Structure 1
Amino acid sequence: MTRPIRSVCLYCGSRFGREPGYAEIARRFGRGVAEAGLRLVYGGGDVGLMGEAARAAVEAGAHVTGIIPKHIVDMEIATGPIANLVVTETMHERKKLMFMNSDAVVALPGGPGTLDELIEVLTWRQLGLHAKPVVIVNHEGYWDPLLAMLEHIEDQGFMGETFRGFYRVAASPEEAIALLTRAGAPA
């Protein structure tokens, strides 16, 4: 029996990136979370893609929890539209709480922090520490270099063939939500 997905941890940029389409996919993802009746757990900032996703989710009626370490509260302007903001002592505590308070993980485009979080949850999966679905939204090929690197790592024998089964790749936020709702359907 599959565990139902009720909440989604979102990893994405605290910046907007160069392409205007990034902000739109963040908004579409936030709205999609709400429309699917899911809760959103994210990094707590009101900046960049994460702010766009959180605002869209709130506006569409989702319950949103932001989790942010105290040392970046001012930098990421943790005053957004959400009702539930948790301030942690450390970045490690933030990542742990975001993951623990969600049933699945989605990565939109982002920078080093997003990459760090994504690789960490995939490593945890490889180590058998969880079985939560992980979906990478590969908007217009944004994650292609990472996906190629993962293939290279496998080809070179530094990870098993099963690793690629630990994540799914979606071309759009809507496809990511569909993958999650199917993944959480009872068997």
Structure 2
Amino acid sequence: MASTAEKTVKRIVRTRGALAALVTALGLVLFVVVSRLLTTLVSFLGYTTTGLYFDVAELLLESLILGVAAILAFAIGYFFGLWFVAPISEELGVGHVITRSVLAVGIGSTVWLVVGGVIAIATTVSFDGGLLGYAFPGLVGVGDVPLALLRTLQDSLQLFVGMLAPGVLAGILLWRWRTAHPPEYHVEGLVDV
């Protein structure tokens, strides 16, 4: 007899329509990564005119790494939202498409909140000595964890607001594509059950 968790996993694996949701999420990621790369490069133009070259490469690298991590975490949640939770089918009206796209953006932002929270805790807290050098090394930076988590919440909310328009546009484009190329199978998700 299969447990409820096994049935849920089997249903997730059997859910069709993953390719269209994946292409939509990857297109959104490509748009955002190129946009952020160009925005970051333009924002550092002022540093080159003032002669502050020493920290520009380090700031650019840090900004790009955190930006790419945020976008990838967001894209995984957005894909999961469009594939399993609230897929967009050709039968929906534009209001439902917008609502499902907003839900997918919310799921993506929530995934970044979780991933960003783990990153914030991991980068804030450290050991005061060698991990294996002392019998009981102490933790440093534990008092800064609430502030780091608050910043992560702020970043997640900013990501939600910033990705709302492109995420809804991507959902509408997916809907238009499915209308022009209807699948042979019925697309449904958790919100349809």
Q: Does the alignment reach a TM-score above 0.5?
A: no
Give the alignment's TM-score, normalised by structure 2: 0.25
Q: Which has the higher strand share?
A: 1
